[in-house]
Amino acid sequence: MTNLLDLAARLEAACDITGKPVGRHMVPGLKAMSTAFAESDEQEARELAETHDCMARCIENEAKLFDDLAACAKEAIAALRSHGIPRDISAAPPGDGWILGYDPSIADDGRSPWVPMTRGDGGWYDDGVDDYQPTMWVPLPDPQPEPSGWRPAEGHVEIAAGMLRGRPVFIASIIKPDGTQDIPRDCRLANTAEGIRAEGFSWASDLNLPVVDLIDANVVPFRLGDQQS
């Protein structure tokens, strides 16, 4: 990252030079002299007019070239610094891509605090099962890992009662906006209504979803298979 920032600084210094090409201030004078010589009846004066006009156009073209190079360099500077300067984790891109996240809590264990990670339910994870609490991030250099396939949960968390192997159970599941169950995400089970409500509301809080509580103590619990039919 230090090398990227050094390169950005060198490009920025170059922009200060290329943005002010030598001779730009001479263009108005050359054009004025060209106009004055062109009005003369003498052949030599007219030739001088053409020479001055050519010099003015060359300087203008050179100035435009330097301006274009400076503009490209400034874009490169911004890109280099975006890779070299860590940003707050709240600014990390959404979706199932990967970043290089900084988790200061793992540095105490002698591990590198910079870890490739991707979003998941409730936080950030590596390609295994470890979760992290990053505070900063930078883009992960190419080649990029394949996207994880994760997507934000949609719909609501539904809490209901059911039967499992002849015994009453309580279940929390995610129901998508189209009314179907979010199958990739597992259901949560508990032995009591109080337990599943605590689990369901905590889960919904992590996913920023509303809760629909269908538990009714006056209704005989339905069988687990009936919920999905």
Please give the pLDDT value at position 83.
Answer: 65
* Residue pLDDT, tens place only, 84-130: 678 899 999 988 999 999 999 888 777 889 999 999 988 899 987 78
| For residue 28, pLDDT beyond 80 | no
Q: What is the mean pLDDT of residues 163-183?
A: 89
Rounded to 10 deg, the angle between the 43-84 and 2-18 helix axes is 160
Q: What is the mean pLDDT of residues 41-70?
A: 69
The answer to whether position 147 is within a domain reads no
The reply to whether 6 and 79 lie within a common domain is: yes
| For residue 173, pLDDT beyond 90 | yes
The answer to whether position 150 is within a domain reads no
The answer to whether position 190 is within a domain reads yes
- For the chain, the average pLDDT equals 78
The answer to whether position 146 is within a domain reads no
The reply to whether 63 and 103 lie within a common domain is: no
| For residue 221, pLDDT beyond 50 | no
The reply to whether 215 and 161 lie within a common domain is: yes
| For residue 34, pLDDT beyond 70 | no
* Residue pLDDT, tens place only, 41-51: 566 666 666 77
The reply to whether 109 and 166 lie within a common domain is: no
The reply to whether 74 and 106 lie within a common domain is: no
Q: What is the mean pLDDT of residues 171-197?
A: 91
Measured CA to CA, the distance from residue 113 to residue 115 in angstroms comes to: 6
The reply to whether 104 and 167 lie within a common domain is: no
CATH number of the domain encompassing residue 164: 3.30.420
The answer to whether position 148 is within a domain reads no
The domain boundary residue, chosen from 63, 83, 103: 83
Which residue range is the domain that position 27 belongs to? 2-83
The reply to whether 61 and 109 lie within a common domain is: no
The reply to whether 12 and 75 lie within a common domain is: yes
Q: What's the domain count of the chain?
A: 3
DSSP 12: H
The answer to whether position 181 is within a domain reads yes
Measured CA to CA, the distance from residue 12 to residue 27 in angstroms comes to: 26
The answer to whether position 218 is within a domain reads yes
The reply to whether 165 and 135 lie within a common domain is: no
The reply to whether 71 and 99 lie within a common domain is: no
Please give the pLDDT value at position 67.
Answer: 72
| For residue 57, pLDDT beyond 50 | yes
Please give the pLDDT value at position 165.
Answer: 81
The reply to whether 165 and 222 lie within a common domain is: yes
The reply to whether 68 and 93 lie within a common domain is: no
Residue 34 burial (10 A CB sphere; 0-12, 13-18, 19+): buried
